[in-house]
Structure 1
Amino acid sequence: MTAGLDTPDRRGRTGLDQHGRDLDGNPHVRIQEVEVLSCDWYVLRKTTFDYQHSDGHISSEQRETYDRGDGATILLHNTDHRTVLLTRQFRLPAYVNGHPDGMLLETAAGLLDGDSPHEAIRREAAEETGHVIGTPEHVFDVYMSPGSVTERLHFYAAPYDPADNPAGRTGIAAEGEDITTVELPFADALDMVRNGLIADAKTIMLLQWAALDGPFRQAGPLARRS
């Protein structure tokens, strides 16, 4: 009996080796085998599949996929003050891969954990920044690392009131979160992207969206045409 397959793992899951076996949307792909390599909290799988190439020949391929669930992120902005509200927290994977101290500036974000993207991002905004937002604006949905990670991230934006900016640290201490909020002039945030002080992909994408097509866009050749 194997946890996560025929008996529940510590998150109560079974049948984790069945993921993807019933996919039929691409006639050039046929799933042959799914092996669960790890299911301690998230799920690492090795999938073997047949792939028909454009010249007609079929090859057997293997890929590892890391399944941590889908997530959502949000850019909090204030157009009157021309500011954005970001978070700063320690990220071990960045630290062990060359970031000087692992303390990344980011837009608030988190996993859906069974909620809809809209509900999840309102929860995460409150937990990580202390701000209770109204209806967020949906921006786009993106596969952040499609070569190995299954996660699809839902992007949002919403205004915030700087007068309500909480002092001290935010996040859920029981989950090891130790988060501070950082309010920045929008122009400074863009400069920090240029000089590498903001190095988080989702944050860069939302800041660039805000400049090109969002609350801080300027009239000109790149402005959205209605």
Structure 2
Amino acid sequence: MFNKIFKIIFLFVLALGVSTYNAETADAATKVMWGKTELKLGQIGKVTILTDTTLVKLEGDGSLSTVRAMKKGEEYRVYSYKNNHGGLYGLGGGSFVQKNTKVKYETPSKSKLALLNGPAFNSGSVWEGTYTANQGETKVTLTVKEETVEFAFGPTLGNPTVPEGKFVMFYEYDSVTGALSLEQGKWIQKPNGYRMLDMVGSVSGDYYTGVLLDGNSVEGKFSVKKIK
């Protein structure tokens, strides 16, 4: 139980650390359309204008000033919300639209958010890269099955003495946040002196990065890229 809690906490901390990276790589991901607008990272919802209204700015003294007209049928991304003046949806750039019957507010579905996070850690995908542990740099290939992952490791050009090995892992993946943990299962091909490790990290676009764990001890880092 403690080990499970530790992994959850570690994933939360790691997610905070990679949030900036996710924002920087968003432009490289496939566009996700939501109605008339493109869904963006950091967006909490959208408003659809039901009746002509006005875009406003919240002044320093708390009053509202008009920026421009907003026409029926237009859609806008919402990035924040304030309770002032009965409710203000923040559209970015210091501009707001008031919460009333003239606008309709919606939040994105989990399926839309999952698409926004880029390619999923889906069955049939293959990921390749390297990890570091006691033996030094090691090649790793992750082949995703329906309920398990096949973890295969071996030598690299810089570290040719690493033997080949392979074992089964079980995984938990949150396609919305990108958090992904892999837990050791059973050996398929075990070299002498080697042990299985767990993996905890985050998927962002075509990359899965994080750390290797032996119980609650961090044994190394890894980075793999989706190749299939």
Q: TM-score, normalised by structure 1?
A: 0.28
Q: TM-score, normalised by structure 2?
A: 0.28
More strand by share: 2
Structure with more helix by fraction: 1
